[in-house]
Amino acid sequence: MSQIPLPPPAPCRPVVREHFGVRLEDPYAWLRDPAYPEVRDPEILAWLRAENAHFEAMTAPLRRFEDRLFEELRGRIEEEDVSVPVREGPFEYRWRYGRGAQYRIWERRPAAGGGFRPILDENRLAEGLPYFDLRALAVSPDSRFLAYGVDVDGSERYEIRVRDLERDEDLPLRIPHTSGVPVWAEAGHVLAWVELDERLRPHRVAAAPLADPTRRRVLHEETDPAFFVGLAKTRSRRFLVLTTGTHVTRETRLFCARSLEGGDPVVPRREGHDYRVDHAHGRLWILTNDRHRDFRLVSAPENDPREANWDEVIGPEDGVYLLDHACFRDFLVVEERVAGVDRIRIRDYAGREHRVDFGEPLYAASLGDNREFATDRLRLHFSSLRTPATVYDYLVPARRLEVRKVQRIPSGYDPEAWVAERLWATSRDGVRVPVSLLRPRAFPRDRTRPLLLYGYGAYGHGIAPTFSPHRLGLLERGVAFAIAHVRGGDELGYGWYEDGKLLRKWNTFHDFLACAEALCAAGWTAPGRIACQGGSAGGMLIGVVVNERPELWRAAVLQVPFVDVLNTMMDPSLPLTPIEWPEWGNPLRDERAFRYILSYSPYDNIRRQAYPPMLVTAGLHDPRVTYWEPAKYVAKLRAFRTDSRPLLLRTEMGAGHFGPSGRYEHLREIARIQAFVLDAFGLAERTE
């Protein structure tokens, strides 16, 4: 990396404005196409393509090594993979991958017996397309029709289509600009969906019968731009559940699944009240944070669910974070987290309860695909840092786990070669922060070894200590892997999230730095021997810590990073901005929020200093983190940094927030990132 080709020039054209008496200068605002969500400005496209060409030139010596990593990654996945069948009505459903196939084939068979037959081939739907994503699919109550949502450019503007499974052909019906999640009513082949507005905000729920789509009916339209709409159906098939919410406030409306009548709120919205609703036996079962931030479970009559009629089922308890719940005919299930470890609680309607014993101290577990209301077994997913993903059926009456599938690593895997453990770091304010560490068993604590530290820390989205075969290439080359469970996630409860948002956001960044320092103090690595990685809001985290402590990092990877925080939060025309204000603050109206965001926003805090080698990615059609955020960030870094280390930007020109869609293209992206990281550690094979 010593001989660096010149990157493409980015003209500096400052846009200056003043807010709360502060002069703001945005030197690369021109990289935002005014026609967005269309991107057609020739100068912008030419600059992005030139950056991609620069990336290719810079990484050309790593191409053979990248190919080798790709083949290793490919060797660790089941090329002819198949899911465990799941029962829905008179059929069992599954997906499978064919050898060499990028996408899945969906199949079903009669539950009474017989062979599987294909009902949807994603590979055929994706032919000739640079991007393809199947968001969701739903079978009609009589099992005849299959509705599904597809995105063909990464913009997350899904088109819903319907297939007649008896005739094995799609209907002419096409429903554009949806969230991609179809939901069937229980009578008359009536389909419901969520519509997006011109700014890609899910704001309206509509329904129509297949026989006459012109009889489209609007069930609800949300007028508050800060509230996004979602749609589901209770497993009891009694209600369609329409939710409107922000990251912290939720309101639920129920519609009769047969007639689509109803629509009154279960509880009218009030700021900060988050609740989730399920149904069984004439009652609503409601998970609510009305009295405790870690939630409690209550029930109420379905015909009069006012709060005055709530009966407490599971009371709140400090340290026990109730994540979600699901109702079945004979029992309900509560997903909870205690001290950062997932637990599955099963409770019958008489009040008897127990928890599933997975036999490991540090793991992640969750409900899988459970479609039947009347069942005596649960589909569960389980893994840990060392244990490959396992699909269980839990036989509830017998309290027994039955293994249905264990992720196989065709090239071989020995869990005894690796050690997983939890460490604790002390952050700047004295709070202890958990760190999950996975390392080779023969990994001396001599402060010489390389380590990759991953973080996220936003929206209450905790990073679970799960298994990934993709890490094995790093581990086999002597690189340890760690997750910093920083505040802003919910690993230690809802309070852990609240302590890493709004005017406490700096806790997230201090926590990550503390985790890096704790790993060094424990001897597992040393300053300058750590690569850091994060995506989206986690990319913002990495942007902050490389500004603050550039000397700590051997390399930094920022995937679709949210780095232009202040400008984005001051632009309500963007689809996500109003819903994001409860997370970051509203700098348009609140001077404290404005100055606080300005204090950490990575783009606004780039300094004249040396930075580590950096790889930044973007998606041209990304509606979550718009392409110009990483583009502007890299352009400004090039102008300010005082070193000559690699700074690479790679934009997916045909994809969005989640990168390329095919499974092999996804592996190729992982190989590119790992080649970059390993090269920074001097562990790559270069061809000059």
Give tens-digit pLDDT for 6-63: 788 999 999 999 999 999 999 999 999 999 988 999 999 999 999 999 999 999 999 9
Q: Which residue has the higher pLDDT, 688 or 307?
A: 307
Cβ partners under 8 Å of residue 468, min gap 6: none
Q: Give ∠ CA 360-361-364 in degrees, rounded to 5.
A: 75
Domain spans in the chain, listed from the N-terminal domain onward = 19-75+563-683, 419-526
Please give the torsion angle defined by the CA atoms of residues 384, 385, 387 and 388, in that order, rounded to the nearest 10 degrees.
100
The SS3 assignment for 383 reads: strand
Whether residue 1 is predicted with pLDDT greater than 90 in this model: the reply is: no
Q: Is 259 a catalytic residue?
A: no
Whether residue 236 is predicted with pLDDT greater than 50 in this model: the reply is: yes
Q: Do 19-75+563-683 and 419-526 share a fold?
A: yes
Separation CA 485–CA 456 (nearest Å): 8
pLDDT of 659: 87
| Residue 120: DSSP 8-state | E
pLDDT of 3: 53
Do residues 234 and 278 make contact, with C-beta atoms less than 8 angstroms apart? Answer: yes
Q: Is 249 exposed, middle or buried (0-12, 13-18, 19+ CB in 10 A)?
A: middle
- Return the CATH architecture of domain 19-75+563-683: 3-Layer(aba) Sandwich (3.40)
pLDDT of 46: 96
Distances (CA, A) of 535 to 133, 256, 422, 538, 625: 20, 40, 23, 5, 10
pLDDT of 657: 86
State the pLDDT confidence band at 90, using cuts at 50, 70 and 90.
Answer: very high
DSSP string, 56-114: HHHHGGGHHHHHHHHHHHHHTS-TT-BPPPEEETTEEEEEE--TT-SS-EEEEEETTS-
Whether residue 365 is predicted with pLDDT greater than 60 in this model: the reply is: yes
Q: What is the pLDDT of residues 548-580, one digit of tens each?
A: 999 999 999 999 999 999 999 999 988 889 999
Q: What is the pLDDT of residues 176-228, one digit of tens each?
A: 999 999 999 999 899 999 999 988 899 999 999 999 999 999 999 999 999 99
Q: Is 258 exposed, middle or buried (0-12, 13-18, 19+ CB in 10 A)?
A: middle
pLDDT of 200: 87
Q: Is 622 a catalytic residue?
A: yes
State the pLDDT confidence band at 5, using cuts at 50, 70 and 90.
Answer: low
| Set 133, 510, 657, 661: catalytic member | 657
Distances (CA, A) of 50 to 32, 406, 433, 589, 617: 16, 44, 42, 39, 14
How does 464-501 read in b/e, with b if 16+ C-beta sit within 10 Å?
Answer: bbbbebbbbbbbebbbbbbbbbbbbbbbbbbebbbbbb
The SS3 assignment for 155 reads: coil
**Residue type at 669?**
E
pLDDT of 204: 97
In the numeric block, the tokens 């019968």 are attached to: 209
In the numeric block, the tokens 């309860």 are attached to: 353
| Residue 297: DSSP 8-state | E
pLDDT of 4: 57
Average pLDDT of the chain to the nearest whole number: 96
419-526 homologous superfamily = Alpha/Beta hydrolase fold, catalytic domain (3.40.50.1820)
DSSP bridge pairs for 283: 280, 301
| Set 383, 536, 601, 661: catalytic member | 536
pLDDT of 670: 97
Separation CA 3–CA 559 (nearest Å): 25
Structural tokens at position 427: 């952050």
| Residue 585: DSSP 8-state | -
In the numeric block, the tokens 């990483």 are attached to: 630
Q: What mean pLDDT do residues 90-102 have?
A: 97
Nearest to 372 by CA among 665, 139, 651: 139
Whether residue 2 is predicted with pLDDT greater than 80 in this model: the reply is: no
| Set 274, 342, 622, 679: catalytic member | 622
Q: What mean pLDDT do residues 413-432 have?
A: 97
Q: What is the pLDDT of residues 472-526, one digit of tens each?
A: 999 999 999 999 999 999 999 999 999 999 999 999 999 999 999 999 999 999 9
Separation CA 182–CA 179 (nearest Å): 9
How does strand 133-139 pair with strand 117-121? Answer: unpaired
Separation CA 370–CA 93 (nearest Å): 12
Q: Give ∠ CA 325-420-615 in degrees, rounded to 5.
A: 90
- SS3 track for 347-371: EECCCCEEECCCCCCCCEEEECCCC
Residues constituting the chain:
688
